Structure formats: structure tokens, C-alpha cells
């Protein structure tokens, strides 16, 4: 296979044809049907065919992000697609881009390959009982050990998805309480098996425990696991949050994918339950779901230009509203059948089961959390108003007050 043409600066000038040829050569040498999933993903990473816009040596080729679709199409045609993220969504959708943006070379070399190969699971240690929507008010403390240089972390996190399965956590902690709340934060990578990390399940309305509360008691974090400079934690966290909102609201779906697909299937199977009013409502929600799907696709295309911006907040707000309304319409349509939900046993969710494959009773209950997780709808509307529409900011009386002086 010919190497890609060189650009004016001597770097490879990748094209769809060269990416397609490289991928086909890789597949000829690495048959996904003859290799284990982890082995195949590691080979992809080593060949620069994980995230092709990442730099060479970090799972990429330094190619334009728009060419990822060419790679994905070739992999899918070979039966090697890996679209189901499940418990790996936080690692792939949030940890990887934040490591790319803020990690040093040693951190990238240590974490990106096992992350992409699904050898390690990640969680997000952000929200706290007293700092959910106002994340910058968090009180988990990280204090440097003057002898070892490690950081000693104490505090409590809440609503932590996959913490019970995670190998690593993305942690924001307060390192300087004497400055305003946004300025005294630092970002860390935490070993979830370290002494002092205590994960406890939180039972939801569905009976499941997707989330956890995590208690951190004298947890030692090496300074080599700090991401960004001391005091830059809010900037690093913003990179994580912007990617999180895209990961939640801009998932790749076919037409009639997700929850609207489950409802339309039920509609076609039960003609005796249809009414003109329900038909009109279904058509309206179908159009909204399709508009949301296309908007999410456009947002993914805009990511070619760089890191996601506040536009991801709009998609996440719409995603929550549309799916909550669809789940409500499903109950209106199915009546008593839709209300049936038998599995109230306290348990962990099945990681292999997708959201839309569940019963409508489950979907109605679970969809209520969509407007909370990943940033509440109220907060995200403020983000849209201020950063997208350019409206005046809310009055913030605590903006310049040291965190230690804030009422709690």
C-alpha cells in the first residue's frame, strides 16, 4: 500500500482513499473473526485506527476527524464494529478526550491503550451531596503530603455511574479553599482499588443501582496522576463535561432507533389500541426524534473542527425532553400493559442490555433521570442562553468570594 501524500509541512496528507486502503490492509492482517475482541482492539490502537484524529502513538494517525466515518464503515463491513459502549462510555467518551487535551505523554501511554481495548473501566467522581448543579462548590479536599509528594484525598462523591465496576476515576477535588470556588480545584486520576475508596450502591426508582456514592478516606493519589496544573481543575472539568453531554445526547442511531423505535414497533403490533389523538401525538414525537437524531449527527460532524462546545448542551436538553415525552406517550397508548414492571429486585443493571430494549414501565421511570444526569436541564439552559445565544449572565454574588467563606 502506498503511503499517504505529504502535506506542505511534511506530515501525511490523509484522504478517504488512503484511510480505506490502510484499513483494508489492517483487516487482511488482523481478522476480527479469528482474534479475541480485546486483542483486535489493541491491534487497532497500535495501527492508529482507534481515534484517527489522535496523534500517532496515541491510537491515531493525526488525520482529519471527518475521516473516522471512512474507518468505521470499513470496520462495520468486515463485521468488526464496536458501537456498543455500555460500561466503557465514560472512558471512551470522556476520559479519552480529556487525556488527549490535558495529559502528558506518560499519562497517554499508560491509559489510552487499555482504555480503548476495554481492559479498564472508568467512572466520573464529580457530583457531591452539596455540589451537584453547582459543581464548583464541591468540598472534597486534596492536600499534598510534604514528604512523598502524594495528594491525600478526603470527601464524598455521589451519582457515580459504574463506580462498582471501575478501575479508574476522573476526580475533581479542592486544593485551595482560600480562593474563589472555580479557582481552587485540581483534577486527578484515581485508582478505584486504592485503600480508602469505599463504593456503596444507590437504589433508584427502577429498583436498579446504576449509580453509587463513593467515600474517599485518606486516599493517596500520586502527583503523576494529576491532570493539568494545580488550580486548573475547573478548565479540565469543562473539557470532560462538554464531551459528556455529547456522549449522552449525540449517540449514533439509525432512523427509528432508540426509544421511538420501541414505541413505533408497539404501535404497529397493536392496531386495536390506536386512536386519532394518539396517532397525531406519535407522529409529532417521531418527527422530533428524527430532528434530534439529525441534529446530533450534525453536531458530530462539527466536532471535526475541534473540541465540543456548548452546543452539546442543547442536544442533551432536547434528548432528555423528547425521550421523557415518548415514554409518557407509550404509557398512554399501552394503558395497564405499559404500567407493568415486575422486576423491582434490588440489583445491578445488565451491562449487555440497551436502554431501548427494556419494558415501557422501566423506560418511563428511568427517563426521569435524563434531565438530571450529565448536567441538569436548568443549568444547561443557562449554558445555552449565555454561551450560545449571548444573553446576559445570571447575577453571581459568590463569584469573587473565597470558597472557605461561602455559606454551606
What the chain holds in terms of domains, given with CATH numbers, is 16-82 (no CATH), 122-231 (2.40.110.10), 238-388 (1.20.140.10)
- Which of 210-214, 300-304, 396-400 is most confident? 210-214
3-state DSSP helix/strand/coil % of the chain, to nearest 5: 45, 15, 40
Mean of the pLDDT values across residues 216-238? 97
| Residue 333's pLDDT band (cuts 50, 70, 90) | very high
| Residue 65's pLDDT band (cuts 50, 70, 90) | confident
Cα 373 to Cα 271, 297, 319, 325, 388, distances in angstroms: 36, 21, 12, 17, 21
Cβ-Cβ contacts under 8 Å for 390 (sequence gap 6 or more)? none
- Per residue in 73-129, pLDDT (tens digit) is 999 899 886 655 778 989 998 999 999 999 999 999 999 999 999 999 999 999 999
Tell me the C-alpha distance between 148 and 268, whole Å: 65
* Residue burial 237-260, b: 16+ Cβ < 10 Å; e: rest: bebbbbbbbbbbbbbebeeebbbb
Tell me the C-alpha distance between 243 and 310, whole Å: 10
**What is the structure's pLDDT at 246?**
63
Q: What is the Cα Rg of the chain in Å?
A: 23
**What is the structure's pLDDT at 168?**
98
**What is the structure's pLDDT at 229?**
97
Asked whether the predicted pLDDT for residue 252 surpasses 90, the reply is no
- Per residue in 131-189, pLDDT (tens digit) is 887 899 999 999 999 999 999 999 999 999 999 999 999 999 999 999 999 999 999 99
| Residue 8's pLDDT band (cuts 50, 70, 90) | very low
**What is the structure's pLDDT at 1?**
41
| Residue 331's pLDDT band (cuts 50, 70, 90) | very high
- Per residue in 393-404, pLDDT (tens digit) is 888 788 889 999
| Average confidence score pLDDT of the chain | 89
Range of lowest pLDDT (49-53, 171-175, 310-314): 310-314
Q: Is 145 helix (H, G, I), strand (E, B) or coil?
A: coil
Range of lowest pLDDT (10-14, 32-36, 173-177): 10-14
pTM recorded for the entire structure:
0.85
Residues serving a catalytic function are: 244
Residue in 403, 405, 400 with CA at minimum distance from that of residue 175: 403
Cell of 172: 475533581
- Which of 121-135, 320-334, 360-374 is most confident? 320-334
Mean of the pLDDT values across residues 256-268? 93
Q: Could you tell me how far CA 30 lies from the centroid of its own chain?
A: 29
Amino acid at each position: 500500500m502506498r503511503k499517504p501524500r505529504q502535506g506542505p509541512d511534511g506530515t501525511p496528507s490523509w484522504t478517504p482513499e488512503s484511510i480505506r486502503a490502510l484499513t483494508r490492509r489492517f483487516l487482511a492482517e488482523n481478522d476480527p473473526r479469528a482474534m479475541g475482541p480485546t486483542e483486535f482492539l489493541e491491534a487497532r490502537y497500535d495501527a492508529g485506527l482507534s481515534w484517527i484524529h489522535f496523534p500517532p502513538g496515541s491510537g491515531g494517525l493525526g488525520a482529519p476527524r471527518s475521516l473516522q466515518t471512512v474507518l468505521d464503515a470499513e470496520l462495520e463491513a468486515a463485521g468488526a464494529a464496536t458501537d456498543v459502549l455500555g460500561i466503557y462510555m465514560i472512558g471512551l467518551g470522556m476520559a479519552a478526550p480529556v487525556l488527549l487535551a490535558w495529559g502528558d505523554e506518560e499519562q497517554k501511554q499508560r491509559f489510552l491503550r487499555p482504555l480503548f481495548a476495554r481492559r479498564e473501566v472508568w467512572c466520573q467522581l464529580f457530583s457531591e451531596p452539596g455540589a451537584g448543579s453547582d459543581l464548583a462548590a464541591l468540598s472534597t479536599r486534596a492536600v499534598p503530603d510534604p514528604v512523598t509528594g502524594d495528594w491525600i484525598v478526603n470527601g464524598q462523591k455521589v451519582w457515580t455511574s459504574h463506580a462498582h465496576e471501575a478501575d479508574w476515576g476522573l476526580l475533581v477535588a479542592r486544593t485551595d479553599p482560600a480562593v474563589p470556588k472555580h479557582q481552587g480545584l485540581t483534577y486527578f486520576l484515581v485508582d478505584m482499588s486504592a485503600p480508602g475508596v469505599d463504593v456503596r450502591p444507590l437504589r433508584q426508582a427502577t429498583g436498579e443501582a446504576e449509580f453509587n456514592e463513593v467515600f474517599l478516606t485518606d486516599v493517596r493519589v500520586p502527583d503523576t496522576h494529576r491532570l493539568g496544573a494545580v488550580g486548573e481543575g475547573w478548565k479540565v472539568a469543562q473539557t470532560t463535561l462538554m464531551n459528556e453531554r455529547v456522549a449522552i445526547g449525540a449517540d449514533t442511531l439509525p432512523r427509528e432507533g432508540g426509544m421511538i423505535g420501541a414505541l413505533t414497533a408497539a404501535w404497529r403490533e397493536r392496531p386495536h389500541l390506536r386512536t386519532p389523538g394518539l396517532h397525531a401525538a406519535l407522529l409529532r414525537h417521531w418527527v422530533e426524534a428524527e430532528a434530534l437524531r439529525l441534529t446530533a449527527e450534525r453536531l458530530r460532524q462539527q466536532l471535526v473542527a475541534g473540541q465540543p462546545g456548548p452546543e452539546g448542551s442543547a442536544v442533551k436538553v432536547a434528548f432528555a425532553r423528547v425521550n421523557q415525552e415518548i415514554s409518557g406517550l407509550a404509557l398512554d397508548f399501552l394503558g395497564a400493559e405499559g404500567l407493568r414492571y415486575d422486576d423491582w429486585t434490588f440489583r445491578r443493571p445488565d451491562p449487555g442490555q440497551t436502554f431501548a430494549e427494556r419494558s415501557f414501565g422501566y423506560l418511563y421511570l428511568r427517563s426521569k433521570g435524563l434531565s438530571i444526569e450529565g448536567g441538569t436541564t436548568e443549568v444547561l439552559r443557562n449554558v445555552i442562553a449565555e454561551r450560545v445565544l449571548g444573553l446576559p449572565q445570571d447575577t453571581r454574588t459568590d463569584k469573587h468570594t473565597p470558597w472557605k467563606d461561602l455559606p454551606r
